[in-house]
Amino acid sequence: MLKSVVTRKINSDLKTVQAHAELSKRLAQNRRKNLSGEGDELRQIIKEHLEYYGTLVDLSLNFHQRLLDTLAKSAESTADHAVNGLTLAMTAPVGATVRAPFKISNNRPDPITVKCRASPFVREDGSQLIASSMGFNPPGAEIAPGSEEVFEVILPVTPDFVAGKLYLATLSADGFDAMSIVMRLQVEGAAAEPEAPGSQDALRRDKADAMTAPATAPAPTDKCAPAKRKPAAISQQASRKTAIARAPKKAARTASETGSSDTKRKS
């Protein structure tokens, strides 16, 4: 089918080029001769080209409409198959890369060589088709009889996917026609980007944390200890001065009392 389409396309392009060359030649001759008959032929050629482009537009519209109808039917059948068949469910946000393992077992008496492939993703309602850059690890393998091989789907969720929508695709393998796995991708919101340490939001958040943090008194150190004992030393020194100042008064009082007693004795 593909070979036939390519062949028809090449032949059509070749004939189109030849027709345009002939048309350019006739237009040049018409300008030189300026004949009425040639003018009628030119109008007919222009009319044919306009009809051709109109038909091309209609065919293009019909083709895209048929394609959308086919995708809608395919999405319905894929959804029905997802309920009853083998399903690989995945959930990831836009911008992330999702990985999902699956296994292929060879129950045949001969070894098989398989190569994984996947269809484009179709939105559940059939309104969008995405040819994603999906990869497999490994992309293919030779599986011996009675053994199995584990593969991994590697799917980057590009911005083409719409957050909140469900997408469906079919996973199969060349060389193992019996395998058919339905992939269901539920797209979440965009993945949060890590915040740069020097960004404005980070600086504002650090400032707010510093303002709301409880204040704590610094722990006492050896340098602060002598300052606490200093008032005690000062008070002891002051008490000594007071004692010294009071001592002479007491001695004078004793001397006066002694003098008065001697006077009494003489009398």
- What is the percent of the chain with per-residue pLDDT over 70, rounded to a whole number? 57
The β-bridge partners of 98 are 155
Tell me the HSE value of 98 on the side-chain side, using a 13 A CA sphere: 20
**pLDDT at position 208, please?**
53
Q: Confidence class of residue 256 from pLDDT cuts 50, 70 and 90?
A: very low
**pLDDT at position 185, please?**
93
Q: What is the arithmetic mean of pLDDT over 180-197?
A: 74
Which are the contacts of 127, defined by CB distance < 8 A and separation ≥ 6?
68
- pLDDT higher for 239 or 196? 196
**pLDDT at position 96, please?**
93
d(C-alpha 42, C-alpha 207), whole Å: 79
**pLDDT at position 131, please?**
85
Instruction: Report the candidate in 260, 44, 117, 87 with the shortest Cα–Cα distance to residue 185.
Output: 87
Which are the contacts of 250, defined by CB distance < 8 A and separation ≥ 6?
none
- pLDDT higher for 208 or 185? 185
Q: C-alpha distances in angstroms, 46 versus 20, 23, 27? A: 12, 10, 11
Tokens of residue 229, six digits: 């004992």
Q: What is the arithmetic mean of pLDDT over 214-233?
A: 45
Domain 87-188 sits in which CATH superfamily? Answer: Immunoglobulins (2.60.40.10)
Identify the weakest region by mean pLDDT among 79-83, 141-145, 168-172, 212-216. Answer: 79-83
pLDDT in tens, 105-158: 888 899 999 999 999 999 988 888 888 888 999 999 999 999 999 999 999 999
Provide the residue ranges of all domains of the chain, joining segments of one domain with +: 13-81, 87-188
Spatial contact of 115 and 176, defined as CB atoms under 8 Å apart: no
- What is the percent of the chain with per-residue pLDDT over 90, rounded to a whole number? 22
Which are the contacts of 93, defined by CB distance < 8 A and separation ≥ 6?
157, 163, 187, 188, 189, 190, 191
Spatial contact of 116 and 139, defined as CB atoms under 8 Å apart: yes
**pLDDT at position 190, please?**
64
pLDDT in tens, 55-109: 877 777 777 777 777 766 665 554 444 334 588 899 999 999 999 998 888 888 9
